[in-house]
Structure 1
Amino acid sequence: MPTPHQTAPILAPMAKTPIDAVPSESWYRMRAIRKGVAEIALYDEIGGWGITAREFANELNAYGDLSLINLHIHSPGGDVFEGMAIYNLLAQHPARVEVFIDGLAASMGSVIAMVGDQITIPENAMMMIHRPWGIQGGDADEMRRYADLLDKVEANLISAYTKKSSLSDDEVRELLAAETWFTGPEAVERGFADQLAEPLTAAASLKSHRIEEFSNMPDAMKHLMSPRGQGPKPEPQPAAPSAGADPAPAPQNSPEPQPPAPRFTPVADPAPSAAAQPQPSQAPTMADFQRQEQARREEVKAVFAPFNGVHDQLERECLDDMSVDAGAAQTKLLAALGSGTTPSAAPRRDAGAHAGNGNIVGDGILNAITSRIGMEEAEKDNVFSGMTLAELARASLSERGVGIAGMDRRSIVGMAFTHSSSDFGNLLADVAHKAMLKGFEEADETFQQWTARGVLTDFKPTKRVDLSTFPSLAKVSEGAEYSYGTTGDRGETITLATYGKLLSITREAIINDDLSAFDRIPRMMGRAAIRTVGDLVYAVLTSNPSMSDGTALFHSNHKNLLSGGALSIARIDEAKTKMRTQKDGKATLNIRPAHLLTPVAMESTARALLAAEFDPAYTESRVPNPVRGMVDVIADARLDDASATTSYMTASPDMYDTIEVGYLDGNDRPYLEQQQGFTTDGAVFKVRMDAAVAPMSWRTMTKLPGP
């Protein structure tokens, strides 16, 4: 659910008469009341007359930043997929949503009502919930798949109801199966509404064929609904017609076209309401639905025919989903073709809130840029491939309906960064983030091989106990109590710090089509991020910091420091002996070495010594090499800066504490933040890492100084 806006005004008492009827050409109306506040009315069958959730989303987006949405509902329900799209759109909107039930919130109308941060219902209004239903033609397998689809739809509906009410999934499932109608007080009692309002004096009548679909409709509601005729939708009347009233009838054998999506109405085939007495021609027959469904399926198959079964799974899904027509199938197919371009960066600003075309435009622009810099292949039939950055900025606006006629390139690029309907800046951030991570992964770093990775949850100093030590187990006599072992109260401290740099992508870089701003520079920043952590790690070795006992990390008192001398098999063996004989009190820890860290200048010598079959110091005696293959050699140029002849021996970080490299919440990759707008004249990206490095134990590391 959306987070309530902190500055949302206090809810005023609900009017005794609902707002003006929605215009006859639409089932919803939207208007701005004042700055930051919009009013929406859902006043008929959801998803009818060719008006879609996509148009609903486009109109809502056009209002820009909103802090409050007042949603008025008087609806018998409608298309489940259109309704869920509206529910998700409002749930993900940052504005506070306050819902008013102006008469009836039935079927899909009640689901959309659940999006409200506060739901108000008059005492004489009603709410109804029930299971979804639909009609499917085909063989047994197709029927089973369609039944599975209905089960998934029902699970989504249950989730919407339980998020608002205090009822369990099973309790809601029972209410759905029973087609349950709630009065205002009953809706508040069950948690489907938050507060009661004074009774309404009148509500607009609903002209709908859905009167036949509700098997348990209370008589109190029947006066609000009468069958929908087949001519143009009549203007709403101030007074509700009688239950048997009927608008001007249409000619016979011309059933009203119906959307092929599953209707959110009872699964059982309901009998017509006795009070309503609709004419047989006022609702499509089973044969009508079957003909429409067969035509839909043929059109969907034609969309996939050129691909020779490559996307047969998606084709089956589209065939099984009655809400998918040929146009929707084509959109899904295009999304599947471009699925490899989905960004791995942090979520975009409008992620999940754009209900246009599945953000195919954004994904196409993203693929066009990344393919130009060689990060991935251009997707087939991507209309944006080969466009310059300035042309892509224009496309990001024009494809979303933003007028740019008469504007020059600089103005278009500037608007692409600032307009609320454009995600151009976020797409550039995606590209820069991918390039940065590529550079991060390409960097040739060595510290990860011999250090431990840690998790820190904040920037406060954290104490780490040396887990390389633990006293030996004590004998427990029969009937005696066990004694406690302890790791002691000594511990090393590790503290997070933040490291970062800024990267600016200006309008000039876009106009000049400068791809280095998205390729080489972010990659270099990624390499710099991981290199920064490596600098911190090797600085611990070369700076020899003090431990918690006040003694330097490498010190004779710690028995981990050799005297100076050239690297030899004898010195490697001596370092091994010092590490293996480390003690904790009387306990011998027997720590086995795993790595020999050397300057690059010593790498060849170290590898030759460890690979030799015989000790070079005793070539004539052919004394076997006692340290042959004992440890791995890791060379790093940072050690050369401090001393070209000093080496270090370390234990395996998988078994013992050596040096810990800690990251905030375990995130060991750099993070890219973006700022864009009028003050930046383009986009500024901040690359940062939160990391900490500290030695955890002196017993697991030994220093071999050079001569």
Structure 2
Amino acid sequence: MSSQKNLSVMRPRASITPTNKPGESWYSLRAAQQRGVVEVMLYDEIGAWGITAKQFARDLAALGDVSQINLHIHSPGGDVFEGTTMYNLLRGHSARVVVYIDGLAASMASVIAMAGDEINMPANAMMMIHKPWGGQVGDADAMREYADLLDKVESTLIQAYTRKSGKAIEDIQALLKAETWMDGNEAVAAGFADKVLDPFKAAAQLTSKRMQEFTNMPTSAQNLFNPRASAPTPAPAPTPAPAPTPTPAVDPAPVALTLDQMRAQVMAADGARRTAINAAFCGSLVTSHTELLNTCLNDLSCTAEMAREKLLVALGSTTTPTGGPNHHGHISNGNLVGDSVRASLAGRLGQAENQKDNAYNHMSLRELARASLHDRGILVATLDPMAMVGLAFTHDSSDFGNILVDSAAKSVLLGWDEAPETYHLWTKKGRLSDFKVASRVGMGAFPSLREVRPGAEYKYITTNDRGEKIRLATYGEMFSITRQAIINDDLDQLSTVPYNMGLAARGTIGDLVYDTLIHSPVMSDGKELFDASRNNLFSGTGANMSIEALSKAKTAMALQKTEVEGGKARTLNIRPAFVLVPVALEDKTNQLIRSASVPGVDTNAGIDNPIRNFATVIAEPRLDDDSPVTWYEAARQGADTIEVAYLDGVEQPYMEQQQGFTIDGVTSKVRIDAGVAALDYRGLNKSVGVVATKAR
């Protein structure tokens, strides 16, 4: 008896084996006459001898930016894992996918068809869905593990069918179990296709032995297969004897491998696998982890890479400090893998502390992408890094892309919160519900209330129609999180870049506010915001920063009155709460306002400072760019000075995906909808000082 426990394994399928290898290859991809449209012909068995996912991905990526993919299918199916990858590639592509089932979409080909945004079938075309199947040679444990694998594969196929048809999982399971065949009309009625086309002759007959694997094939579907694929190869017809030759006749290459040859191939591959696994358990690891080594060696599905991952987990379990076995519990929303990946990434980005019991701590972005798939039972051992990361972005069961976007969004908000801006300390915050021009009524629009004598009528107040205008605008930029960034472990794409975009978003609002303040826009009455006739603009040497200048501006603001027709003007008694100064005047202004006595009265320190602590000093570098000696006074926050309005009151930048996840990554845009406008001149004044000249 052989000591080898697992002799051979067959991948879940319809998988391609030496006995059903197609004789021809009908695969093509070309640009259509219509700009931006590409024709893809899937006329082959899916798998190693037909169309591989790697080939398909390469050709699909080479198309560049296209708006529509017309996918023509005439295929009996093939390898489950290759087909699943093709399905994900099509689902994640930004183009609209229109599927035409030209003859047959059976088994895995029907799953690929489900990726279409629109599925068209001639009335005489056929679609077949069934349970995945395969074979395993080995002991009872190996059989059970393989059965579990088939169940997992079936669950992934069911997701594709339910998404398209809208049927319940139980209904799909029943159809798979029965090996259900549908013509065009039946497929549309069942929700697996969208439109029935007129019957036409099949594009070609399939040369495949796969019809021998189908147990419930209707006669109409058998016509789609070349007869030579459904019967044993007939004996060659007798031919005239050729002229004698000294060399013996050479038999044609066998169509199928013998059992001994297949066993030899399997054992050779397994020998290489065992050698690689033994190399991973080097030195003392052989003795310290003997049981794990034997488990990996005896599991035919365990690759060297998977063995190394298991070894790392085993090593980590013995070295990670813990507080005892009772400290390994994890209470969350049930998504242990996603929660752990999210927490690990937050720790690396400095957004949170590392969790001591998190097995994903300190993993690179590439390792986290692999874990997001592998730890959910998605096989990635055969994928190259680019394909693996692309699958992590697009697979329905992986939330890796969403985790990256959420982490980047946190960086955007952190940049917004930490932006060194000052406008929000003194301006009025407003809210607009749309992008139409809105009018604001200022504090000077209302006169004193009139007396209402007993029994007299109330009269309507008359206000002017010169309300100040304000309108929202959208400001934003885009950035990408690419496969290359994940493979290169480029954390800047999740931290520094979005953080700086958050800084820029708030800085943009600051630019708008101080541009309005500095350039004194024309108000609805035809005058500029700051005008000497408004008694809110002061200039000359008397406007230089001093106690006298501060007091003069403060008094002028308090004496501002309403301006209405047909009513008595009312003094508003507005008190300045902020002094806005360039950085060049910050220290001097603080000294003037905070000092207990007036400057220059050293011999009599008992003279009180009349403006002590009357306002808060806010220094803004943008004011230096305009003038180092010009300064402003502003009323309390919330008064009608300058308003910053946000769409629906949301004053933080919003981050959204541009076109969803693709195999190349995800492009996101950071935007903020805001509007800035001066509301009323009475709550603001401006003092334009004079730069002192030095005598020569």
- The two structures have a TM-score, normalised by structure 2, of 0.53
Q: Does residue 360 of structure 2 align to residue 384 of structure 1?
A: yes
Residue 65 of structure 1: how far off its partner (Å): 8.2
The counterpart of 1:498, out of the listed 467, 470, 474, is 474
Tell me the residue number matched to 1:635. 619
Tell me the residue number matched to 1:545. 521
The counterpart of 2:438, out of the listed 455, 458, 462, is 462
Supply the AA of the counterpart residue of 1:335. Answer: I
Matches within 5 A, 1:296-315: none
Q: Does residue 636 of structure 2 align to residue 652 of structure 1?
A: yes
Matches of 1:475 and 1:569, distance apart in 2: 41
Residue 58 of structure 1: how far off its partner (Å): 4.7
Supply the AA of the counterpart residue of 1:639. Answer: L
Tell me the residue number matched to 1:558. 534
Matches within 5 A, 1:293-692: 333-336=329-332, 358-467=334-443, 469-564=445-540, 565-585=543-563, 586-616=569-599, 623-654=607-638, 656-675=639-658, 681-692=664-675
For residues 583-635 of structure 1, give each alpha carbon's deviation from its aligned partner in whole angstroms, at most 9, with x where no partner exists: 11311111111100000110001001111223226666764321111111011
Which of structures 1 and 2 has the bigger CA Rg? 2
SS at match of 1:567: coil
For residues 79-102 of structure 1, give each alpha carbon's deviation from its aligned partner in whole angstroms, at most 9, with x where no partner exists: xxxxxxxxxxxxxxxxxxx999xx
SS at match of 2:498: helix
Higher relative contact order (CA 8 A, sep 6+): 2
Matches of 2:353 and 2:626, distance apart in 1: 44
SS at match of 1:364: helix
Alignment identity in percent?
Answer: 46
Describe the shift of the 1:587–1:373 C-alpha distance in structure 2 as closer, same or farther (beyond 3 A). Answer: same
Residue 555 of structure 1: how far off its partner (Å): 0.4
**Contact 1:417–1:677 (CA under 8 A) maintained in structure 2:** no
Matches of 2:579 and 2:684, distance apart in 1: 10
Describe the shift of the 1:489–1:387 C-alpha distance in structure 2 as closer, same or farther (beyond 3 A). Answer: same
Matches of 1:359 and 1:502, distance apart in 2: 30
For residues 445-484 of structure 1, give each alpha carbon's deviation from its aligned partner in whole angstroms, at most 9, with x where no partner exists: 1111110111111111111111454221222212212223
Describe the shift of the 1:662–1:377 C-alpha distance in structure 2 as closer, same or farther (beyond 3 A). Answer: same
Matches within 5 A, 1:174-193: none
Matches of 2:161 and 2:553, distance apart in 1: 68
Matches of 2:373 and 2:112, distance apart in 1: 27
Tell me the residue number matched to 1:63. 160
SS at match of 1:587: coil
Describe the shift of the 1:639–1:60 C-alpha distance in structure 2 as closer, same or farther (beyond 3 A). Answer: farther
**5+ long unaligned stretches in structure 1:** 1-30, 41-50, 75-97, 101-304, 311-329, 340-357
Describe the shift of the 1:417–1:679 C-alpha distance in structure 2 as closer, same or farther (beyond 3 A). Answer: closer
Describe the shift of the 1:611–1:449 C-alpha distance in structure 2 as closer, same or farther (beyond 3 A). Answer: same
Matches of 1:618 and 1:549, distance apart in 2: 45
**Contact 1:416–1:425 (CA under 8 A) maintained in structure 2:** yes
- The more displaced of 614-623 and 564-573 is 614-623
Q: Does residue 682 of structure 2 align to residue 706 of structure 1?
A: no
Supply the AA of the counterpart residue of 1:595. Answer: F
SS at match of 1:432: helix
- The more displaced of 482-491 and 612-621 is 612-621
Tell me the residue number matched to 1:694. 677
Residue 556 of structure 1: how far off its partner (Å): 1.2
Residue 519 of structure 1: how far off its partner (Å): 1.6
- The more displaced of 593-602 and 622-631 is 622-631
Matches of 2:548 and 2:128, distance apart in 1: 84
Matches of 2:154 and 2:510, distance apart in 1: 48
Supply the AA of the counterpart residue of 1:568. Answer: S
- The two structures have a TM-score, normalised by structure 1, of 0.52
Matches of 1:402 and 1:692, distance apart in 2: 48
**Contact 2:111–2:157 (CA under 8 A) maintained in structure 1:** no
Q: What is the alpha-carbon root mean square deviation over aligned residues?
A: 3.6
Matches of 2:679 and 2:527, distance apart in 1: 13
SS at match of 1:334: coil
For residues 294-346 of structure 1, give each alpha carbon's deviation from its aligned partner in whole angstroms, at most 9, with x where no partner exists: xxxxxxxxxxx9687x9xxxxxxxxxxxxxxxxxxx9xx5234xx8xxxxxxx
Residue 67 of structure 1: how far off its partner (Å): 4.6
Matches of 2:152 and 2:384, distance apart in 1: 29
Supply the AA of the counterpart residue of 1:62. Answer: Q
Supply the AA of the counterpart residue of 1:384. Answer: Y
Supply the AA of the counterpart residue of 2:348. Answer: R
For residues 334-367 of structure 1, give each alpha carbon's deviation from its aligned partner in whole angstroms, at most 9, with x where no partner exists: 234xx8xxxxxxxxxxxxxxxxxx3221111111
Matches of 2:655 and 2:339, distance apart in 1: 19
For residues 397-432 of structure 1, give each alpha carbon's deviation from its aligned partner in whole angstroms, at most 9, with x where no partner exists: 223333323111121112222333322221111111
Matches of 2:463 and 2:479, distance apart in 1: 46
